[in-house]
Amino acid sequence: MRLKLRIWRQKNAGAEGKFVDYNLDGVSEDSSFLEMLDLLNGQLIDRNEEPVHFDHDCREGICGMCGMVINGIAHGPKAAITTCQLHMREFKDGDSITIEPWRAKPFPVMKDLIVDRTAFDRIIESGGYISVNTGQAPDASVIAVPKSQADRAMDAAACIGCGACVAACPNGSAMLFTSAKLAHLNSLPQGQTERFDRAVLMVNQMDAEGFGGCTNIGECEAVCPKEISLDFIAMMNLELLRGNLKGKGKR
């Protein structure tokens, strides 16, 4: 398979970036998208050129590292998968593919396709935890969790924090990510003590990071590799309202 690649290249956070064109031959349709980039980088290194820098780790759709926009779509044209799970059989011989990093103010480009997503870490640090006393872990059956709550918590906890929701949203909103991280704790009995503080603190931190607001366009849900539901945003808005009325989230 022969491809025409148009890739965003940027030396560092302070440099001005640009698209650079590459022709790549010998791509197997059975290879993953990241393996295709590995093939390109091997050829660039052989020519003593700078390889394309991109985030990756597990390459199993779990870690959320491999974020990039492929032909205008976060993670590429196939729904409910990460970039590392995208295979070249989704493309045709002679195709032109444009590859660029997430585009959002709170995700500054560090180099080529790599962006700084530590804003997500700070949102979680602000309230995405449960305070417990240290000591021996209790038996799993000590606290009964109704199945409906357990299922909702698991659905929310599926979020891998890749940032595709932010990259796809015209407003650069992190509402889907924040609501998922909030909901998986607020859905469980163990998370009730800090429930409303958590909502106020995490939303306040999200706003402080510079993410935009949600206008229910739905692009976030459409590109989410774990199919996180917009319903969690509605749940978070209700928790936020209750928390503000109770005067929570003050430190």
**pLDDT tens-digit profile of 60-72?**
999 999 999 999 9
- Tell me what pLDDT residue 134 has: 67
161 and 62 inside one domain: no
26 and 141 inside one domain: no
241 and 121 inside one domain: yes
Both tokens assigned to 191: 């998370």
Both tokens assigned to 235: 């749940």
Task: Give residue 80's domain range.
Answer: 3-111
Distance of alpha carbon 57 from its chain centroid, rounded? 14
pLDDT of 251 > 70? The answer is no
Give 96-123 pLDDT, tens digit per residue: 999 999 999 999 999 999 999 999 999 9
- Tell me what pLDDT residue 143 has: 84
Distance of alpha carbon 28 from its chain centroid, rounded? 28
Kindly state the average pLDDT of the residues 217-239: 97
- Tell me what pLDDT residue 249 has: 82
83 and 148 inside one domain: no
Both tokens assigned to 108: 């500054």
22 and 97 inside one domain: yes
Interatomic CA distance for residues 100 and 239, integer angstroms: 36
Interatomic CA distance for residues 235 and 51, integer angstroms: 44
**N- to C-terminal Cα separation, the chain:** 58
Q: Are 102 and 167 in contact (CB under 8 A)?
A: yes
Give 81-90 pLDDT, tens digit per residue: 999 999 999 9
Give 149-183 pLDDT, tens digit per residue: 999 999 999 999 999 999 999 999 999 999 999 99
Q: Specify the long-range contacts of residues 68-72, CB closer than 8 Å, at least 24 apart.
A: 68/99, 68/100, 68/101, 68/102, 68/113, 69/99, 69/100, 69/101, 69/102, 69/103, 69/167, 70/33, 70/97, 70/98, 70/99, 71/97, 71/98, 72/98
CATH of the domain at 157: 1.10.1060.10
Residue at a domain's end among 96, 111, 126: 111
Is residue 32 domain-resident?
yes
pTM of the full structure: 0.94
Kindly state the average pLDDT of the residues 173-194: 95
CA angle 55, 60, 65 (to 5 degrees): 25
Percent of the chain with pLDDT over 70: 99
Q: Which residue has the tokens 């197997």?
A: 28
Closest CA to 178 of 198, 154, 148: 198
Is residue 251 domain-resident?
no
